[in-house]
């Protein structure tokens, strides 16, 4: 299962009392800075239902290329109802390069100009061999295409494992995008080190830890962890976008919502109602404005978990709803609607 890769999300955290006092004056309702904050999603450019090739290794068939209508439907929902101003479009060689270039070009054509597309590459697969997904020639071709046709300033590397050596491809991308390399899925204990200039941070364990809101606020639970994480990023100077969570772990297995010891797409539950709002309020209140890039949300994990049979099934998986142009109303809909509602609020300056 693709969801198994999420199981190594072992986090630590942050926050500073200074910014508890200062930030409410900075992030007031109606602040014209709010619409400028990042409101992003990470998802596959291919919208492939089971994108295994290049993720778990190269010995898998290529994914099916989406149609232009499917991309148009997805772009309309993500930029409209779901209020994105940036899309991290993941690609890991699941499509042939020529097909991938056509797909990225269609995303650029059908997204509004104010929605930035950041091509997001997986450089090492998650198989035992940790194989490099792209050859040097493939990366040179992709980098040139992305700079010409998609985004001349920024590109991203996706990796939710901490501290992995990315291979020679990282230096190549850094050369092509010297001031625009972003790490998507960085873990809380990792330093945002060169050549990366910004990051999207995984927040899963802090957001999930606590069955009720009272549990979440208790010492040793999620809120305290999140505060430590924010404090750590405040001590640096690199912009960070914070992941808002839709898919949580299985709360049925523990008394107070502690981590159950497994990550199972058949059992994972939606994040408790109101949790994203509480966590986002903490981040807005406490993060140093110079390092708060904004907020993001992982739609890959939403797709993987929603398509499991106990939830929405393969036909109801999140990517499938995007391709059909349907607002998602499945098992995780309430949690997802909190994220999209928050993004719409930021877009409106609330």
The answer to whether residue 14 scores a pLDDT higher than 50 is: no
The token pair that represents 276 in the structure block: 């994203």
pTM of the shown model = 0.92
Mean residue pLDDT across the chain: 92
Number of domains in the chain: 1
Mean pLDDT (whole number) for 117-135: 96
Q: Is the bond leading into 318 cis (omega within 30 degrees of zero)? A: no
The 10s digit of each residue's pLDDT in 272-282 is 999 999 999 99
Residues 75 and 72: their CA atoms lie apart, in Å, by: 5
Dihedral pair phi/psi, residue 30, rounded to 5°: 85, 0
* Cβ atoms 89, 44 nearer than 8 A: yes
pLDDT band for position 171 (cuts 50, 70, 90): very high
pLDDT band for position 20 (cuts 50, 70, 90): very low
Helix (H) or strand (E) holding 295: strand 292-298
Q: So what's the pLDDT on residue 208?
A: 98
Tell me the percentage of the chain whose pLDDT exceeds 70.
91
HSE-up (13 A, CA, CB side) for residue 314: 3
> Coil, strand or helix: which one is 25?
helix
Q: What is the CATH number of the domain that holds 328?
A: 3.20.20.70
* Cβ atoms 93, 61 nearer than 8 A: no
The token pair that represents 116 in the structure block: 């930035």
**208-226 burial, b for 16+ CB within 10 Å, e for fewer?**
bbbbeeebbeeeebbbbbb
> Coil, strand or helix: which one is 32?
coil
Angle at 106 between CA 103 and CA 107, to 5 degrees: 90
DSSP state of 332: T
Q: So what's the pLDDT on residue 300?
A: 98
Give how far the C-alpha of residue 254 lies from the chain's centroid of Cα atoms, to the nearest Å. Answer: 27
Q: For residue 46, what are the domain limits?
A: 2-347
Tell me which residue of 87, 119, 86, 114 sits closest to 100, measured CA to CA. 119
Strands 198-201, 181-186: pairing is: parallel
């Amino acid at each position: 299962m693709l969801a198994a890769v999420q199981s190594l999300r072992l986090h630590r955290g942050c926050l500073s009392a200074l910014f508890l006092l200062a930030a409410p004056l900075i992030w007031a309702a109606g602040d014209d800075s709010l619409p400028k904050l990042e409101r992003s999603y990470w998802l596959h450019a291919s919208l492939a239902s089971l994108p295994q090739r290049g993720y778990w290794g190269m010995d898998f068939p290529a994914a099916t290329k989406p149609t232009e209508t499917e991309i148009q439907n997805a772009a309309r929902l993500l930029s409209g109802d779901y209020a994105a101003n940036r899309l991290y479009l993941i690609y890991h060689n699941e499509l042939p390069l020529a097909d991938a270039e056509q797909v990225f070009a269609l995303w650029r054509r059908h997204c509004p100009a104010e929605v930035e597309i950041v091509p997001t590459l997986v450089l090492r697969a998650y198989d035992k061999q940790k194989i490099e997904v792209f050859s040097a020639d493939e990366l040179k071709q992709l980098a040139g295409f992305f700079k010409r046709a998609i985004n001349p300033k920024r590109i991203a590397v996706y990796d939710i494992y901490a501290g992995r050596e990315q291979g020679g491809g990282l230096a190549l991308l850094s050369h092509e995008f010297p001031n625009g390399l972003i790490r998507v899925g960085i873990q809380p204990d990792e330093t945002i080190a060169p050549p990366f200039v910004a990051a999207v941070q995984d927040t899963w364990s802090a957001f999930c830890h606590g069955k009720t809101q009272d549990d979440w606020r208790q010492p040793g639970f999620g809120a305290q962890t999140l505060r430590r994480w924010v404090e750590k990023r405040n001590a640096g100077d690199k912009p960070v976008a914070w992941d808002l969570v839709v898919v949580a772990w299985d709360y049925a297995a523990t008394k107070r919502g502690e981590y159950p010891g497994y990550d199972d797409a058949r059992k994972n539950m939606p994040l408790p109602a109101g949790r994203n709002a509480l966590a986002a309020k903490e981040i807005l209140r406490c993060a140093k404005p110079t390092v708060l890039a904004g907020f993001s949300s992982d739609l890959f994990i939403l797709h993987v978990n929603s398509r499991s049979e106990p939830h929405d099934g393969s036909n109801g998986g999140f990517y499938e709803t995007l391709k059909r142009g349907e607002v998602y109303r499945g098992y995780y809909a309430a949690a997802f609607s909190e994220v999209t509602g928050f993004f719409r609020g930021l877009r409106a300056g609330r």
